[in-house]
Structure 1
Amino acid sequence: MEQVAQRSLRADTTLSAVSAGFAAVLVGFASSVAIVLQAAAAAGASEAQMVSWIGALGLGMGLTCIGFSWYYRAPVVTAWSTPGAALLITSLSGVSLPEAVGAFLFSALLTLVLGLSGAFERIAARVPQPIASAMLAGILLQFGLSIFTSLQANPPLVGAMLVAYLIGRRWLPRYSILLVLTMGFATSWLQGEVHAEQLDWSIGQLQWVTPAFNLQVLLGVGLPLFIVTMTSQNLPGIATLRASGYTRVPVSPVIGGTGLMSLLLAPFGGFAFNLAAISAAICTGPEAHPDPARRYTAGIYAGIFYLLAGLFGASVVTLFAALPQAMIAGVAGLALIGVIGASLAGATADTEGREAAVITLLITASGVSFLGIGAAFWGLVGGLTSHWLLKGKR
């Protein structure tokens, strides 16, 4: 049986799936690794402990991506909680690192309980599909726009990547993102914008921090971390899977699994894991593989690249610092064009629910934040409120 599974994985693996997994990790790390390091610094972490944070996060994301994608045969991609990291930057002032770890464990325990109880799946099932699609489109829209803002900043680099994408979509659709990555790196190298001298390859080590439990910190840091991760990360993550047709993936076990992984790795810096949305969309789209049943390999390879990134945690920061930001933005935007289009179609297909979906899209895309909670949550609240009010009117 194991040999059959191995042969199936080999048969299902394509270069496009591998490149999609790499692009997902590239975008995921490059877009927010600086925020994670700022959060670690706010907690008073030393340089070695910051390396441990990156190592623990890479290990957790790698194992969950590989495990979930393999078991469910779907591209289930996880990530660290970027809004959670942003929250930690502002809320950990005056909090010791052991107390911060205690808050991470509290948030992880709440996530595990919510997943095991099945409550989150029941809540998610009540969100209408057009609202979920509009929320996802609003989240991804900024990445699509970044193609052209980056084009203005660096026309030769992003212009070459855009041409590579169009050529790839026309003649080699399965390898369009690989072409974009290759063109982006080659153009950056020719421009002298790849600073290879900054690279310092070394293997990082995990460092244990014994947690301390302070009720004020648990409620002031752990509870908001849990809420922000659930609303701003896991709900869009579910929407990403649904938008690509992976409705058979059960939500509760996956949420519970991320909570369990957070419990195990929190003392090493794994502050919160969740379903990915932006990086997941790269692996769930047709660019990863034209056959949806074989896209799970993109999730597995994303996990492998996450493991490598965690293993070389001390080098990850310098690696992404060596690449121009315009290249990272271009890769992200071009890889998500198809998903943005599908999300917009799903949001506006139902004429009766179109107004509520557009309200969701506009609030989410605006980037507004209240009470420390991001736009995705408020877009969902505004969209659901509009949906129920307009539905009652009809």
Structure 2
Amino acid sequence: MPQSSKARSTANKSARALQPGPQPLFERPRVRPAGIRDFLRDIGPHYASNGAVGLAFSASGPIAVTLTVGSLGGLTQGQLASWVFAIFLSAGAATVLMSMIYRQPLGFAWSIPGTVLLGPSLQHLSFPEVVGAFFSAGVLILALGATGVVRRIMAAIPLPIVMAMVAAVFLRFGTDIVTSTRDDPAVAVPMVVAFLVLTAVPALGKYLPPVLGTLAVGIVSVALSGRFIIEGGGPVFASPLFTAPVFTWAAQLELVIPLALTVLVVQNGQGAAVLTAAGHKPPINVFAMSSGVFSLLNASFGGISACVTGPTNALLTASGQKNRQYTAAVIYGLLSLVCALVAPMLTRLMLATPQAFILALGGIAMLRALQQAFVAAFATKFTLGALVTFVVTISGLNLFNIHAAFWGVVIGYGVSRLLERQDHATT
């Protein structure tokens, strides 16, 4: 009997040891952080091209949105240049730091839905009031990340529902390929053909990655079209400006909560889901806290909140071995830091490029990610909740100044809990 009791005691201790304990607030890296030698060993053409395409994507459409919203809101050229400097600086610094520490492609950028919701606000709020909201949103994002509540919420939502939201957001990139080939075939069609050939013939794709080949053919097509025209001059290097924040109830109530929810649920949720689907283990809490810290940096120079984005990370994980994809993020981050220094010149260069080039390149680079999002959303369980999420997100529903992707997840999850109880019970 004593031996039996001792054996049971030992078994109970072993069982308790195997039970998962409370997760630390800061998710620790699962592997040793990468050094310069590791990076130089792991970098390759596929990863360099994915990083470059990620930068080209960020420096084109998103920058155009930023400049449009800022210009319509009455911002000066100096304030716009400072905004662009800030968002590239935080994107580059956060991406390089996080990707090297975790050896994962953790790409940071800035909130485009957040930028869009600023449009109406800038019509009746002063820019210092908006900057005050930027600071408050950064503090709120950091505080929510520090509580650990973000990770618990993301863990409670089934991945298919989140991926359905991602699929709805990414769908536009797929349709952009069709739109660009219809509207500007001289530029877009050669790019599509190059991608198909390099993908269909592995022997060619081995030496010239399909997306990199698409980029090269697109540059040639634009050059031959004679439509790469830079209008006017301007400064080359950025001159960041500090805008003293003004805190008013009107701006705080209108912007802070929508900005925070957009970053934590819509943007970081997309990024984490894309990385998870690609086989990585993103640190959700560290994402949230880093977004808060770098949002405060952005706010210091009049920039929108920082976040982890789905499209950027989808481009960074588009190809290659999982354990080497962090190098694509590092390339993207380093190029972002360069762009921060020459933000005015870069903006003029990218805006001088035909729109079809940007649409075709972004759409082609996102095809695999779009396919993966649909498979993850509708292949197994929670398919009704995923469908509702997809429909609500793509509808563009906008309540209380909060992006449709947030409401898609909320409504889709609610429908799933109500009508897919068996799926939740077996999870």
TM range (shorter): over 0.9
Indicate which of 349, 364, 375 corresponds to 2:379: 349
Q: Distance in 2 between matches of 1:326 and 1:382?
A: 35
Q: Does 1:254 align with 2:290?
A: no
RMSD value, Cα: 2.0
Partner of 1:242: 276
Q: Does 1:194 align with 2:232?
A: no
Deviation at 1:153, TM superposition (A): 0.6
Indicate which of 400, 408, 412 corresponds to 1:379: 408
Flag the structure with larger Rg: 2
Deviation at 1:244, TM superposition (A): 0.9
Q: Does 1:233 align with 2:270?
A: no
Deviation at 1:35, TM superposition (A): 2.4
Moved more, 86-95 or 196-205: 196-205
Moved more, 3-12 or 307-316: 3-12
Give the match's secondary structure for 1:195.
coil
Q: Distance in 2 between matches of 1:347 and 1:96?
A: 42
Q: Distance in 2 between matches of 1:36 and 1:369?
A: 20
Indicate which of 40, 46, 50 corresponds to 1:10: 40
Indicate which of 316, 327, 334 corresponds to 2:364: 334
Partner of 2:310: 277
Q: Report which structure shows greater RCO (CA 8 Å, sep ≥6).
A: 1
Partner of 1:184: 218
Q: What one-letter code is carried by the residue in structure 2 that aligns with 1:145? A: T
Deviation at 1:3, TM superposition (A): 12
Indicate which of 252, 255, 274 corresponds to 1:218: 252
Deviation at 1:137, TM superposition (A): 1.2
Q: What one-letter code is carried by the residue in structure 2 that aligns with 1:228? A: T
Q: Structure 2: give runs of 5+ residues left out of the alignment.
A: 1-31
Give the match's secondary structure for 2:307.
strand
Q: TM-score, normalised by structure 1?
A: 0.93
Q: What one-letter code is carried by the residue in structure 2 that aligns with 1:194? A: F
Q: Distance in 2 between matches of 1:237 and 1:167?
A: 30
Q: What one-letter code is carried by the residue in structure 1 that aligns with 2:105? A: P
Q: Distance in 1 between matches of 2:361 and 2:36?
A: 31
Deviation at 1:379, TM superposition (A): 1.8
Contact 2:132-2:246 at 8 Å conserved across structures = yes
% identical equivalent positions: 31
Q: Deviations over 1:167-220 (max 9, x none)?
A: 221224461110010011101110112225657561111111122222332222
Q: What one-letter code is carried by the residue in structure 2 that aligns with 1:337? A: L
Q: Deviations over 1:112-157 (max 9, x none)?
A: 1111111111101111011122111111111011101111111232
Contact 1:199-1:319 at 8 Å conserved across structures = no
Contact 1:101-1:209 at 8 Å conserved across structures = yes
Q: Distance in 2 between matches of 1:96 and 1:386?
A: 40
Q: Deviations over 1:280-319 (max 9, x none)?
A: 1000222xx2x10100011111111111211111112211
Q: Structure 1: give runs of 5+ residues left out of the alignment.
A: none
Contact 2:50-2:317 at 8 Å conserved across structures = no
Contact 2:33-2:102 at 8 Å conserved across structures = no
Q: TM-score, normalised by structure 2?
A: 0.86
Which residues in structure 2 correspond to 1:109-128 (within 5 Å)?
109-128=139-158
Indicate which of 100, 117, 122 corresponds to 1:70: 100
Q: Distance in 1 between matches of 2:126 and 2:250?
A: 12
Deviation at 1:42, TM superposition (A): 5.5
Give the match's secondary structure for 1:165.
helix
Q: Does 1:364 align with 2:393?
A: yes
Contact 2:33-2:101 at 8 Å conserved across structures = no
Residues matched between the structures, number: 388
Moved more, 339-348 or 60-69: 339-348
Q: Distance in 2 between matches of 1:307 and 1:197?
A: 25
Q: Distance in 2 between matches of 1:206 and 1:160?
A: 40
Q: Distance in 2 between matches of 1:391 and 1:4?
A: 43
Deviation at 1:370, TM superposition (A): 3.0
Deviation at 1:224, TM superposition (A): 2.3
Q: Deviations over 1:22-71 (max 9, x none)?
A: 11121123112132224434554321121111111110111011111111
